[in-house]
Structure 1
């Protein structure tokens, strides 16, 4: 009987020792940050600006700075996924003919062409060297800078721009992101895409569509073929003074807010009485929006993300339920 008891005790000791060893090994594995055990989910840079080109192809700009980010990508071509490997992208080497771009925060395709404006935010009011608008031409897989202009008006931090067709003319639109402000100014002017010359600017005050949810009223914009204006409002953790802001939280929404129309032969932006919600993205920081229109699919809204430490991606926005369209 005593012998049996000793055997049981010995077995119990063996189990306890084994369990303790396994726990120690498990703890070590969990805390070991060795890069050999993990891979980055994606190396796609932030999609600060986005335009649809044709088919399944888009052009994106990235907000790389001159200081500390000189080797980072500025411009990429992006294609929609064809399988479970996800979005495909190619960094494009762009010759700026002078200083590299600093903080490209938006892009605007000139309607009816594959010419795209690459727009610096101007987030350096004292340095006009980095307040430029580049005209790029997409030829096959290459992106070539064909012209450059200085911002025609004083700016502070522009994150949204677009070009709308206006008869045989073009209209350039832009807005400051107006961080932590109740509204921003949506501004527009006639624009000659051949010479990069701008007419006199007009403006309308655009209030934050949801001040309780968003601290950046307008961070992206695009215009469809009939002049309807789509914008993005966002919540940014850093702007809210939160701890570890590059890990979020984030939130964003896409709205249709107005239309480019005409009055006595000149372009006018008319805002809707209430912005029309097209999609709410809790947990994601949208920084760009692009409208795709074709005969096969009709009108689709694509969003480009810059989720900081979580990385970037491109998504097709589903149409909202009918009862939320005027939220």
Structure 2
């Protein structure tokens, strides 16, 4: 959850074992319909539209203007292009989305997605939005709004729920299971937690009870400066084979330095009562220095060797999107 307004972002050239040329340094474009070769804000969640385009969310707060979503399109011979997505109305008393941190597609419903705010702030917000995207017109319609489980409110006295991972899977009985990743790294929640609940997408009802609300704790592998402060879950992606992928990040303030890892804490089972089969000793798949990864998704079709894609929210340094080998 962000607590301040950030100045216009600059993109920093970084040396990584990744592809694509760096975006040029420039300021944010204020117009909502402007396309650009750099994100208008940090990338805090991502879902694949097709092999070479992605929907991403941005964590603008309720009092900040700017897009809440963008579409990234990619071709093999040019830099990715960002297209802001417009939303005509937000049918909820708390108004437009604030601090969006996670995004996932709705299984078997093309063009429909779920996006989640990080948590409540003084009792407001903490919502899960169901939307339909028109990728051609770059417009989205909000179909329904649900409340996420509230274990601890965010307020000036404490850091509460911080949901930064989201996945949705359909069981063999047709029900939808929603996986929710608490990032960890706070006094209230020192460890990451994967929670789960049953989603009725037509009635827009979400139920977290029992073991699902308690969840499964995860600890990101790696050498962290402060193991009690690192964020064990900064995004979540489930592969077609059912493997759970998480990013974890260390945030040392708006000027960093940042460090991130990508790892797998386990896989999905067919049992909705206990859907997460955890590995006792997860290992790092990739270490990404100098970036704060907050978005994971599947590979880019047009980039040979791509195995996954990442997006970052590097605070005062802006954000990048990259395929990862």
Aligned to 2:57: 61
Structure 2 unmatched runs, 5+: 1-24, 28-36, 153-160
The separation in 2 between residues aligned to 1:316 and 1:269, in whole angstroms, is: 27
The separation in 2 between residues aligned to 1:254 and 1:114, in whole angstroms, is: 27
The separation in 1 between residues aligned to 2:40 and 2:77, in whole angstroms, is: 17
CA offset at residue 276 of structure 1? Answer: 3.4
CA offset at residue 224 of structure 1? Answer: 1.8
Aligned to 2:101: 105
After TM superposition, the score normalised by the length of structure 2 is: 0.75
After TM superposition, the score normalised by the length of structure 1 is: 0.74
> Which of residues 186, 195, 201 is equivalent to 1:193?
201
CA offset at residue 287 of structure 1? Answer: 0.8
Q: Does residue 317 of structure 1 match 2:324?
A: yes
Aligned to 2:72: 78
The separation in 2 between residues aligned to 1:39 and 1:158, in whole angstroms, is: 30
Aligned to 1:232: 247
> Which of residues 179, 184, 190 is equivalent to 1:173?
179
CA offset at residue 148 of structure 1? Answer: 1.1
Q: Which has the larger radius of gyration?
A: 1
Say which is worse superposed, 268-277 or 191-200, in terms of deviation: 191-200
Is 1:165–1:225's contact at 8 Å kept on the other side of the alignment?
no
Aligned to 2:266: 258
Q: Return the structure number with greater helix share.
A: 1
The separation in 2 between residues aligned to 1:189 and 1:165, in whole angstroms, is: 12
Is 2:41–2:318's contact at 8 Å kept on the other side of the alignment?
yes
Structure 1 unmatched runs, 5+: 1-37, 239-245, 319-327
Is 1:137–1:144's contact at 8 Å kept on the other side of the alignment?
yes
CA offset at residue 190 of structure 1? Answer: 2.5
The separation in 2 between residues aligned to 1:93 and 1:188, in whole angstroms, is: 30
User: What do you get for the CA RMSD once the two structures are aligned?
Assistant: 2.6
The separation in 2 between residues aligned to 1:225 and 1:233, in whole angstroms, is: 21
Which structure 2 residues correspond to residues 204-243 of structure 1 after superposition, within 5 A? 204-210=216-222, 212=224, 215-238=230-253
Say which is worse superposed, 185-194 or 115-124, in terms of deviation: 185-194
The separation in 2 between residues aligned to 1:178 and 1:234, in whole angstroms, is: 10
**1:178-200 residue CA offsets vs partner (Å, 9 max, x unmatched):** 12564222111222222232344
